[in-house]
Amino acid sequence: MYRLDNLKTKTDYPVHDLPDLVIRKLNIPGESLENLKILRRSLDARKKPELYFVYSLTFTLNNPVIAARLVRQKKIVPWSEPEDPPVQEGTLPLTWRPVVAGSGPAGLFCAWMLAEYGYRPLVLERGQDMIRRVRAVRRFWQEGTLDPGTNVQFGEGGAGTFSDGKLTSRSRDTRVRRVLETLVSAGAPDRILYENKPHVGTGTIRRVVVTLRKRIETLGGTFRFGARVSGLTLENGRVREVEINGSERIPVSLLVLATGHSARDTYRMLEETGISLTAKEFAVGFRIEHPQEMIDRNQYGAPAPVLGLGSAEYALKYQDRETGRGVYSFCMCPGGQVVAAASESGRLCTNGMSYASRSGLLANSALVVTTGPGDYPGEDPLAGIRFQEMLEERAYRLGGGDYHAPAQRASSYLTGQSDETLPEGTYRPGVRPADLREILPEEMAGALARALQHFDGQIPGFAGPEALLTAVESRTSSPVRILRGPEMASPDVENLYPVGEGAGYAGGIVSAAIDGMKAAEIIIGKYRRFD
C-alpha cells in the first residue's frame, strides 16, 4: 500500500470524487488505482473565509513500475496497516469469571475484549441501563428530581454518554484505530476513522453503547445494573469477595475497577480498605456559552451553513503570570447545551453535551483553571474530593438550592457588576443571576478573569455581555489516582486492576477505552479463559 499526503480540496469537494482527483494529481491511468481510503482529514482555515480540507489517503497500485516511479519522485510513500499487539492466552486458572466494575468506555472495552477472547465477564454497573438512565436524566433536567444512583455520571455508558462524544486522541497507540473501528461496527459513522477531530454526539453514543453491550452478552458476558460496588474482602493480598449495594457478596478471581471519576464513595471505600491512593491535579471553573454564529464567523470567516461546514470549534489556552496557573477551554460543545451533571443531593455541577448534528444556536465550553494538592483542605488522598464538594455546595446554595445554576454575564464577571437579566442559555432546570466570584477561591477566580480578557482578544465578544457563565464545572477529571504497578494491578492487591478516568490514568473516551483494553490484554495473557 501507499500513502499520499497533503491533498488539498475545497470544503465542498465531494468525497466520492477523490479517486479522480488522485489520478489527475499523480498523472496515472485510472485503472491502476485501487482500494483508496481516507486516512486523515483536517481543516485548513489559515486563509478564511477560503477554507480547505487537507487529506492523507492510502491506496494500492496494481502497476509496480508506476508505483516505483512515484515513490522515487517522492509523490507517495509506502505504507502498511498498523498491527495490533499480539495477545496469547495465559495459564493460570480462573475459578470465577472476571468481574468488571463500571460500564463507561474503560469498563466496556475491557469487557468487550475479554468477551471476544471467550472470558465471559460479569459487568457491574451502579446505574441503570440506557433506557432507564435517559428517563432519569430527563426527569432531573425537567423537574429537578435527582436520582443519586442513575444520572449524568452513573449508568450504562458512563459520564461520556451525555457529552459531545469527542473521540480525539493524541496517542499513536495502534489501539486507537481499533477503538474507532469497533465504534463504527457498532453504529458510529465511518467518518470518525479519518476526521482530525472526530465526534459522534450523545444520541449516537447511546445507540453504540447498547449495541456493544448486546454484543458482549451474545459472547457470554453478563451485565448487572443497579449493582454498586460497596466493599471488598481482601485475603493474602487478593480480592476474595466484592460487596454489592451494601449486602450481597460475590466471590471473584479478579476485579477490574472502572468506576469513573465521580465515584466518590468508591474512593472512600478503597482508602478504608487499605488500597493505595494519591491526590492529583485537575481543573475547575465554569461553563461559558456564546451564540454559535459568533464562533463560526471568527473561526471560519463566514457562517458555517454558507461554507457547507458543521459548527465551528475552538481550543484556547492561557498561562497566568500572576499565579502560574493554566487556564484553558475544555470539552467544547458546538451547537450544544450545558447540562446539569450533579450526582449527589445538595451539590451542583455542570457539563456540556451536543448531538451529532451540532445544530443548536449556542456553543458552550468549560473554562477551567488548574488546581493541585496544595489548594485542597488537608493532605490526604481524598482532599481533592472535599474541594470539589465544597465548590459544588457553594454553587447549589448560590443557585437557590433547587438545582438552578448560578450564572453571570462574562462582562459582569470582569467588572463585578450584578446582572438583573441574563442572556438565553441552555442549562435546565434553569439559571439565576449570581456573583460567580463567590464560588472559586480568589486566586483562581482572578486567573479566570484575566484569561477571559485574553481570550476576548482572540475571539472578539468572548468576554462580552452575550457570553454567559454557568457554575460550577468541577468534574473535569478525577481528583484521585489509584496507584498501580507495571502490570496495571494495585501494588497492594495483585488481582485488582484500576483503569480509566476514575483510576486517574485516562482523559476522554478513547484513552479510557485503550486503558481498559490494556488491562484486558494483561488479564488474557496471565489467565486461562473461564470455563
pLDDT in tens, 386-445: 999 999 999 999 999 999 999 999 999 999 999 999 999 999 999 999 999 999 999 999
Residues 417 and 447 in one domain: yes
Position 305 scores a pLDDT of 77
Q: How confident is the model at residue 172 (pLDDT cuts 50, 70, 90)?
A: confident
Whether the predicted pLDDT of 531 surpasses 80: no
Which whole-number Å values give the CA distances from 415 to 375, 399, 408, 461, in the listed order? 26, 20, 11, 15
Whether the predicted pLDDT of 347 surpasses 80: yes
- Of 519, 475, 487, which Cα lies nearest the Cα of 500? 519
Q: What are the beta bridge partners of residue 438?
A: none
Q: What is the CATH number of the domain that holds 58?
A: 3.30.70.2700
Position 423 scores a pLDDT of 96
Whether the predicted pLDDT of 480 surpasses 80: yes
**Per the domain annotation, does 217 fall within a domain?**
yes
**Per the domain annotation, does 84 fall within a domain?**
no
Domain final residue pick, 17, 49, 78: 78
Record the cell numbers describing residue 449, joined without a space.
478573569
Q: What are the start-end ranges of the H helices in 326-437?
A: 383-398, 410-415
Q: What is the CATH number of the domain that holds 495?
A: 3.50.50.60
Q: Is the dihedral of CA 108, 109, 115, 116 positive or negative?
A: positive
The predicted-structure confidence for 228-238, as pLDDT tens digits, reads as follows 999 999 999 99
Residues 342 and 254 in one domain: no
**Per the domain annotation, does 244 fall within a domain?**
yes
Whether the predicted pLDDT of 342 surpasses 90: yes
**Per the domain annotation, does 531 fall within a domain?**
no
Position 248 scores a pLDDT of 97
Q: Are 259 and 396 in contact (CB under 8 A)?
A: no
Whether the predicted pLDDT of 85 surpasses 80: no
Which whole-number Å values give the CA distances from 447 to 35, 287, 320, 328, in the listed order? 52, 15, 6, 11
**Per the domain annotation, does 89 fall within a domain?**
no
d(CA 496, CA 340): 33
Angle between helices 105-116 and 175-185 (to 10 degrees): 90
Three-state secondary-structure class, residue 383? helix
pTM: 0.95
The predicted-structure confidence for 509-527, as pLDDT tens digits, reads as follows 999 999 999 999 999 999 9
First vs last C-alpha separation in the chain = 41
Residues 290 and 249 in one domain: no
Residues 373 and 333 in one domain: yes
Pick the range with the lowest mean pLDDT from 123-132, 164-173, 198-207, 247-256.
Answer: 164-173
**Per the domain annotation, does 85 fall within a domain?**
no
Position 162 scores a pLDDT of 97
Q: Are 315 and 362 in contact (CB under 8 A)?
A: no
Residues 211 and 352 in one domain: no
Q: Are 46 and 60 in contact (CB under 8 A)?
A: no
Residues 142 and 162 in one domain: yes
Task: Give the CA-trace dihedral at 454, 295, 171, 13, to 10 degrees.
Answer: -140
| Residues 468-488, mean pLDDT to the nearest whole number | 97
d(CA 132, CA 149): 11
Which residue range is the domain that position 521 belongs to?
A: 99-279+480-526
Residues 262 and 291 in one domain: no
The predicted-structure confidence for 95-113, as pLDDT tens digits, reads as follows 999 999 999 999 999 999 9
Residues 20 and 56 in one domain: yes
The predicted-structure confidence for 29-84, as pLDDT tens digits, reads as follows 999 999 999 999 999 999 888 999 999 999 999 999 999 999 999 999 999 988 87
Whether the predicted pLDDT of 192 surpasses 80: yes
Position 101 scores a pLDDT of 98
The predicted-structure confidence for 117-163, as pLDDT tens digits, reads as follows 999 999 999 999 999 999 999 999 999 999 999 999 999 999 999 99
The phi and psi torsions of 48 (rounded to 5 degrees) equal -55, 140
Residues 263 and 397 in one domain: no
Residues 29 and 105 in one domain: no
| Residues 184-208, mean pLDDT to the nearest whole number | 96
26: part of which helix (H) or strand (E)? helix 18-26
Q: Is the dihedral of CA 408, 411, 414, 415 positive or negative?
A: negative
Secondary structure in 3-state letters for 116-177? HCCCCCEEEECCCCHHHHHHHHHHHHHHCCCCCCCCCCCCCCCHHHCCCCECCCCCCCCHHH
Position 514 scores a pLDDT of 97
Position 369 scores a pLDDT of 98
Angle between helices 383-398 and 264-273 (to 10 degrees): 150
d(CA 201, CA 189): 11
Q: Percent of the chain, pLDDT > 90? A: 93
Domain final residue pick, 458, 473, 488: 473
Mean pLDDT (the chain) is 96
Record the cell numbers describing residue 183, joined without a space.
465504534
Q: Are 416 and 482 in contact (CB under 8 A)?
A: no
**Per the domain annotation, does 392 fall within a domain?**
yes
Domains in the chain: how many in total? 3
Residues 383 and 462 in one domain: yes
Whether the predicted pLDDT of 361 surpasses 80: yes
**Per the domain annotation, does 83 fall within a domain?**
no
Residues 413 and 432 in one domain: yes
